[in-house]
Amino acid sequence: MSSAHQSLSQIPANLPDALAFKFGIVVSEWNEEITGALLNGALDALQKAGTKKENIIIKYVPGSFELTAGASYLLNKEGFDAIICLGCVIQGETRHFDFICSAVAHGITQLEIQYNKPVIFGVLTPNTMRQALERAGGVYGNKGFEAGITAIKMADFFKGA
């Protein structure tokens, strides 16, 4: 996990080759400035690790709550080695934040278990827009890039399991 002193937004030395993997990416349109940056980070990681452009399928959903349905849709298609879910829910004045974040985290976990495929939680849950920007290419790196690296590692794990 990134901290104020370390960004994980770089290709690790032990990263498996991603040439043979196929990835689905589901992106929330809500907080598009943030989710667009997360998507760019994920694409950068996948492509730097050797994933072919034609093996990356991107689908958009209206908000983070819909990420689970979008991931389920892709998992029902054949051939994906991992699905990356990218979203951003910024704390507001109501409990809506808590319900959305909990539902998305639970939904993504349930999909991983149901389909026995990696579904990567690339959803930012910051208190402020500034914190979101810091994690979408700012001082804390790009969590989308980290989600891409995680997807590669987990696809390789499931392939060898």
DSSP state, 77? S
Residues comprising the chain, all counted:
161
Catalytic residue among 52, 77, 96, 130: 96
**106 tagged catalytic:** no
Look up residue 40 and give its two tokens. 């760019």
Q: Which helix (H) or strand (E) holds 61?
A: strand 56-61
DSSP codes joined into one string, 82-148: EEEEEEE----SSTHHHHHHHHHHHHHHHHHHHHTS-EEEEEE--SSHHHHHHHEEETTEEHHHHHH
Cα 71 to Cα 68: distance, rounded to the nearest angstrom = 5
DSSP state, 57? E
* Residues labelled as active-site residues: 96
